[in-house]
Amino acid sequence: MNRPDARRGADAAANAPGRGAGRPASGPDQERGAGAVMVLGIIGAVLLLTLGLAALAAAQHARGAAQAAADLGALAGAAALRDGYDECARASAVVGRNGAETTSCTVPAAGVVRVEARTAVGLPGAFSSPGAAHAAARAGLRATGLAGDQGLGAAGVVPGSGVRAAGAGGHTNGQIPPDALCELSFAAGQRLRCDAAAAAGRLNGAFRAEFGRDLSVTDSYRSYAQQVAVKASKGALAAPPGMSNHGWGQALDLGGGIESFGSAEHLWMAANAARYGWIHPAWARPGGSKPEPWHWEYGTGA
């Protein structure tokens, strides 16, 4: 009579939660899983650190390349400026040859060229966006250093290059006072350094004997302020303020036919002007860097 009850009690005891029946296993499989998670976490941290170091190295390399290109571009631009060529065209060409792009080129002071350049930064990773490294440099007659825009020792634009020409009475470019200049005898209101004005008068006498009229003068001495205005209106066609031979009172711009290559008046000037100390500089001749048939200079020897 009591056996079924005893059997039911035994079955209930067998099915009741015991020590291991409802508890997850804690053997070797669980330990291996925890170890795998830890290893994956370490690998992920190492990968992130590696990517970070690679990005830093790429940025530093690109920054150095941009600075080197800017330095070389500024030097090349300053040399071109000194020699009468297009300073920014030369600077941009040099920057490009050194694997960078010119973002800005200016002449912030007489004889000084400032260049800004950038290079691409190839950041690692499939989902990384390309970046850019930027650098700036400037060089010129007054510069004592290059990198990082340092070494000029002066801020802002200073009138004149600081270089004095013989016959300018110790004055700087564009700063010659009116009483140190002489008006041309054949062109009212046009002034030059006095020795240049005398030579222009002799040249004009020969020109008038040939063509029956005086030389037509469109420009002569330019003050520093006038040079700034001309540079603003003509851009690369005009010399930087403080660097123009107009500012020394030893350059003329001429019309009356001389402003056209191949005209009788221009051919006569090319054949005869040097007898009176006036020359057509190489950069202004046909095939020069900035052909200007109208521009003539006295005593520059260029």
State pLDDT tens for residues 238-278.
888 888 999 999 999 999 999 999 999 999 999 999 999 99
The residue with greater pLDDT, 247 or 168, is 247
- Whether residue 13 lies inside any domain: the answer is no
Q: Are residues 80 and 189 in the same domain?
A: no
Residues 52, 105, single domain; the answer is yes
> Which tokens in the block code for residue 232?
């603003």
Q: Domain residues for 254?
A: 178-298
Classify residue 253: in a domain, yes or no.
yes
**Residues 109, 188 within the same domain:** no
Q: Which of 140, 156, 187 is the last residue of a domain?
A: 140
Same domain assignment for residues 58 and 122: yes
pLDDT value at residue 1: 47
Q: How far apart are CA 191 and CA 200, in angstroms?
A: 11
Residues 62, 72: Cα–Cα separation, whole Å = 15
Give residues with Cβ within 8 angstroms of 74, minimum separation 6: 91, 113, 114, 115, 137, 138, 139, 146
Task: Write down which residue in 125, 140, 155 finishes a domain.
Answer: 140
**288 closest CA partner among 250, 251, 252, 237:** 237
* Summary mean pLDDT of the chain: 76
Select from 90, 117, 140 the last residue of a domain. Answer: 140
Does 127 map to a domain? yes
Q: 290 and 190 in one domain?
A: yes
Q: Which of 64, 36, 153, 157 is nearest to 106 (CA)?
A: 157
| Tokens of residue 83, six digits | 């020699």
Claim to verify: residue 183 and residue 98 sit in the same structural domain: no
Q: Higher model confidence: residue 40 or residue 93?
A: 93
At residue 35, the pLDDT reads: 61
Residue 166, pLDDT above cutoff 50:
no
- 170: in domain: no
| Same domain flag for 84 and 132 | yes
- The answer to the question of residue 167 being in a domain is no
Local structure of residue 147 (DSSP, 8 states): B
- Residue 294 in any domain: the answer is yes
What is the CATH classification number for the domain harbouring 237? 3.30.1380.10
189 shares its domain with 122: no
* pLDDT single digits (tens) 76-92: 887 777 766 778 888 88
Tell me, yes or no, whether 250 lies in a domain: yes
Number of domains in the chain: 2
pLDDT tens for 133-151 read 788 988 875 333 333 333 3
